[in-house]
Amino acid sequence: MTQSTERDRVLIFDTTLRDGEQSPGATMSHAEKLEIASMLDEMGVDIIEAGFPIASEGDFKAVSEIARASRNAVICGLSRANIGDIDRCWEAVRHAARPRIHTFIGTSPLHRAIPNLTQDEMVERIHQTVTHARNLCDNVQWSPMDATRTEEDYLCRVVETAIKAGATTINIPDTVGYTAPRESAELIRMLIEKVPGADEVVFATHCHNDLGMATANALAAVEGGARQIECTINGLGERAGNTALEEVVMALRVRGDIMPFTTGVDSTKLMAISRRVATVSGFPVQFNKAIVGKNAFAHESGIHQDGMLKNAETFEIMRPADVGLKETNIVMGKHSGRAALRSKLSELGFDLADNQLKDVFVRFKALADRKKEVYDDDLLALMRDQADETQDRIQVKFLRVVCGTQSPQTAELVLTIDGEDHEVTATGDGPVDATFNAVKQLFSHEARLQLYQVHAVTEGTDAQATVSVRMEENGRIVTGQSADTDTVVASARAYVNALNRLLVRREKSAPDSDVKTVNYLDAN
């Protein structure tokens, strides 16, 4: 495909499983990666960057399995600019019906200083590695990392070198979220006009959100001639995140009058995958997040409500159904049966086998006995806990706390660790502190608590509380979540959930096995 054949088609390149997973604490399990890849493929994403194969054996296996299972999307792996990385990447993606190798090197003055290469030496490295990748695969993407801070003349030179060496896609990354919309468009336009052979490749844009302009910069790049947008579900990614897939897809759909471009993404699947990524990553979607946030289609103002009742278009530029949010709402409660539960969960993006439904139904009934009404968010929290506990080595079996104005507060806790029950009573400065102290006594660790946060899932005094816990140990950051009508129980489960994720990270803690330990700047 070249830019001259499909001027109005924008390819969506999803890097949730690679750049998104690099966000501290967002590491996904092997099964979760396969699940998200399947959802992306079904949704119509054009290219899935499945991982960084050289980073770890786990990443290699995940990319390989995703490559084998893909039905429609191009499956891409990331590689630094060296022969060993590229070979490893090819071994992982070669099983895909449509494989791609994505190789990169930092070209700005700051990044060139890391491997201590002169401009000429870097050009030679680019030619050598892109040529090697193209000899393995006919679909090669090349990126000059930190392109937006690279000298214009040198950027043109390295892009021309990559094209001559056989790159079929040239990605221009705003690696540190430095650029602005007008500059983003002008940069792509300049490269297309000045670089020989630019009309024979696809130009892509990869933007970070450090200044809050990732989506705007990506759309501006399309105006400048880019025909591929690199993005992630919910804007997940390092630091302030990446361009949000749901935002660019819906912006192009809603504002086709001024941006006459199309994508192949089925937007009705956006809400389901947004919720699933939030669950498996442990990064909740902010309430006022564009497109997929809880309040994106909520109206409280009297003027807004009156306008909505008369004509929804007065205050909504897209329909909830456009992004997969059902406008009808079946109220769930203790009298609801399995069929109603299955239907509601299907609307929320969960298709369960009979045995899975049976397990969830038991939990649903227990929750419904404690709440008058069970809302969608309650069910999402229920499904998150269900998914987590199926693979947890540590589980909360029993918790009883004593709290109030009289000190000390105490927690009596029973944890099931690797199938065996362990019991302790601990004290603390409040019931949550006592509970966390009890967990630490039963399962000793050196992780430091970075974040403890509580949000009500729904309204009312019987609402479930969603608790988020972030912990750090030796540079490894993990996030745990849980929900319960009892805030202290939710706190215990979230803390234990984080510990379980930490155990997984410990198992991959060898220096060459953790994706976050790979030095992206070292292209040697």
Annotated binding-site ranges for Mn(2+): 19, 206, 208, 242
Q: Characterize the bridge pairing of strands 228-231 and 11-14.
A: parallel
Tracing tokens 């000298």 back to the chain, one arrives at: 151
Alpha carbon distance 28, 440 (integer Å): 24
Contacts of 470 (CB under 8 A, 6+ apart): 25, 449, 450, 451, 477, 478, 479, 480, 498
Query: Do residues 66 and 72 lie in contact, with contact meaning Cβ atoms separated by under 8 Å?
Result: no
DSSP for 146-189, please give it.
TGGGS-HHHHHHHHHHHHHHT-SEEEEEETTS---HHHHHHHHH
Alpha carbon distance 396, 482 (integer Å): 11
What are 445's two structure tokens?
Answer: 């660790």
Alpha carbon distance 176, 168 (integer Å): 24
Alpha carbon distance 131, 133 (integer Å): 5
DSSP for 212-239, please give it.
S-HHHHHHHHHHHT--EEEEBGGG--ST
How many other CB atoms are there within 10 angstroms of residue 93's CB atom? Answer: 29
CA angle 133, 135, 137 (to 5 degrees): 65
Binding site feature residues: 19, 206, 208, 242
Print burial letters for 416-438: b (CB count within 10 Å at least 16), e (below 16): bbeeeeeeeebebeebbbbbbbb
Give the residue from 116, 64, 119 showing the smallest Cα distance to 89: 64
Cα Rg for the chain, rounded, in angstroms? 24
Helices then strands, counting H and E runs in the chain, come out as 16, 14
Partners of 231 in the beta sheet?
A: 14
Query: Do residues 115 and 522 lie in contact, with contact meaning Cβ atoms separated by under 8 Å?
Result: yes
